[in-house]
Structure 1
Amino acid sequence: MTRFGYTLMTEQSGPRELVRYAQAAEDAGFDFEVSSDHYSPWLTEQGHAPYAWTVLGAVAQATSQVELMTYVTCPTLRYHPAVVAQKSATLQILAEGRFTLGLGSGENLNEHVVGAGWPAVQDRQAMLVEAIEIIRSLHTGDLVDHRGEYFQVDSARVWDVPEQGVPIGVAVAGDRGIERFAPLADHLIAVEPKSSLVESWNGVDGAPQIGATGSARAIGQIPICWDPDRDAAIAKAHEQFRWFAGGWSVNADLPTPAGFAGATQFVRPEDVADSIPCGPDLDAVVAAVSAYWEAGFTDIALVQIGDDGQDRFLDEAAGPLLEKLRAAAPD
């Protein structure tokens, strides 16, 4: 059965609002909630960047059934993997087994702030491999000493370890990443509805299989901008989400909101409307989301663009939209 999620966008909402939206999303019937983990918004118009882990701790206490996930955390530069191991274990205990640790190789926008530079993509992936190994080791509750190419861990132990462990999803964009990470991860994370990603993942020896008989999930994400006024929705999506047009290969390397503003200065509202469903038409949203389940994705998180429309979206549109999505998606 296809599962549908709600995205806690830390770039566009403050911490108290995010906790309130998390409660409302659970009440509306979403199956899971994912949280971005940014130090900065992509564009100044978005205007927020609270600490995702504090927000998720509060969300774990404010909700009771909905699953939680980071989408995604980079455990290599801004955070040391030993710290990620500790806080993800703590969050899993607070969430009583509802948490999945989503990991990725990061964005310059968030990672450059600690002054460690911005490595090339091959180095970032190698760092992520080593970080996952450290996190897995620490999640056993054993004493860990590690001397690797990128990280050192001295006599570290995570004292509060959840009995059920912490599942790990890894964000990948192509075959090279899949070959490296599929054997190390429990779940696939991707931001494009490519069936080749699922097929490649399932073809890697040692990877948990995605599909009806496998334990792995393929988790995607799609932005929408629901609003009763389509023109208002397009204007909002253009103001706050035009960076989306750049694609991962560009967005990963831009260092500041000013850089994103410069890179997107020629993106037009109609360009955004062509790539993001905007307005009141729920069937248009279903059509856009369907690309993910047709590609073999098992879980799809929706991003409702803009803070000022979240309450109305959750109150008026979320329930009917979920009904339409579940009616259209495969069982």
Structure 2
Amino acid sequence: MAHFGYFLSCEEHGPAELVEQARLAEEAGFDCLWISDHYHPWNDQQGQSPFVWSVIGALSEAVSLPVETAVTCPTVRIHPAVIAQAAATSAVQLGGRFRLGVGSGEALNEHILGDAWPETPVRLEMLEEAVAVIRKLLTGEQVSHRGTHYTVENARLYTVPDEPVPIDVSAFGPQAAEVAARIGDGLITMTPDADMVERYRRGGGGVSPVSGGLKVCWGPDREEAVRTVHRLWPNESLPGELPQVLPTPRHFEQACELVTQEQIAESVPCGDDPDAHIEALAAFADAGFDAVYVNQIGKDQRGFFDFYRTKVLPALRG
């Protein structure tokens, strides 16, 4: 596997904490950064949700690592013409070290203006049109567009990077993987699914990068770490389309009453056994991924980074 990255969680941390974590990630030897793009956290226990584009501006001054949104929904809450400007500025600030990760989104973040939340096929159709609009605008040329879902009139970005911003597409099912292969410069997904990788590559993705992400909870007491995950991120264990359609943090809290600590213990690497963490990350390499991004759940970020710097990353690279 080429790269190991750290996944900054805007749902759980404020702007200053995220910038400090980015610094710690660079010092610990991580290669790159993901950062989530939310309007709401998944539940009130997570408790944060800063505006991602402001945080990216701060990251551009704080670290030298590449940064990618994982992921931005450019279809409902924010018009793709505005996302194009945000991505272009981020790429300029980061000196070309920016990738735009996009996806079809969740009602949790996107319904806030009262817009209808479409079915999956419509959301994917909107995503495809939005990406086309963004790519046109990133050229710096004047753009007018009248499509099925979006209108752009006489729009031109004046602050644009020297090279086009790569756009990676998130996918969790076959339909989305086909869209990602057709319109993306890379694939993002959250499970080490070799079949998904193969479907993406066969569908037109070729040798473009495939990136995955996972959450862990390092700590000296494994049972306490499991409790921390169960308190903060039980939504990781929700099945099917629930994460895409539930509209508020309170609805997620209600659904997560069905999630047990036993489920968490089986699905999220917890505790301080290096082998458990190494095995979880290596599963992505075994499935054909080019990069994997890991997020530490909970407050003990310094302990996590020290553990990965000394025990996990050297073993994975060795």
Shorter-chain TM-score category?
over 0.9
More displaced 10-residue stretch of structure 1: 318-327 or 54-63: 318-327
Q: Which of 250, 260, 271 is equivalent to 2:242? A: 250
2:292 alignment partner, SS class:
strand
Any unmatched runs of 5+ in structure 1?
Answer: 211-215
Matched, 1:232 2:220: no
Matches within 5 A, 1:13-28: 13-28=13-28
Give deviations 1:163-209, integer Å, cap 9, x for gaps: 112001000122222222312110011111111111111112xx341
Matches within 5 A, 1:11-50: 11-50=11-50
**AA at the equivalent of 2:206:** Q
How far is the alpha carbon of 1:248 from its aligned partner? 5.1
Matches within 5 A, 1:182-261: 182-204=181-203, 207-210=204-207, 216-247=208-239, 249-261=241-253
Q: Which of 296, 301, 313 is equivalent to 2:288? A: 296
Q: How many pairs does the alignment contain? A: 318
Root-mean-square deviation over aligned CA pairs: 1.2
How far is the alpha carbon of 1:316 from its aligned partner? 4.0
How far is the alpha carbon of 1:92 from its aligned partner? 0.3
1:4 alignment partner, SS class:
strand
* Greater than 3 Å deviation, 4+ residue runs: 315-319
Any unmatched runs of 5+ in structure 2?
Answer: none
Give distance in 1, aligned partners of 2:308 and 2:135. Answer: 40
Give distance in 1, aligned partners of 2:183 and 2:150. Answer: 18
Aligned to 1:277: 269
Aligned to 2:51: 51
Give distance in 1, aligned partners of 2:222 and 2:236. Answer: 19
TM-score, structure 2 as length reference: 0.97
Confirm or deny: 8 A CA contact 1:44 1:257 kept in the other structure: yes
Give distance in 2, aligned partners of 1:180 and 1:315. Answer: 39
Confirm or deny: 8 A CA contact 2:2 2:291 kept in the other structure: yes
Give distance in 1, aligned partners of 2:277 and 2:311. Answer: 12
Confirm or deny: 8 A CA contact 1:82 1:134 kept in the other structure: yes
Identity rate, percent:
42
Give distance in 2, aligned partners of 1:286 and 1:202. Answer: 26
More displaced 10-residue stretch of structure 1: 167-176 or 128-137: 167-176
**AA at the equivalent of 1:209:** G
TM-score, structure 1 as length reference: 0.93
1:220 alignment partner, SS class:
strand
Confirm or deny: 8 A CA contact 1:2 1:326 kept in the other structure: no
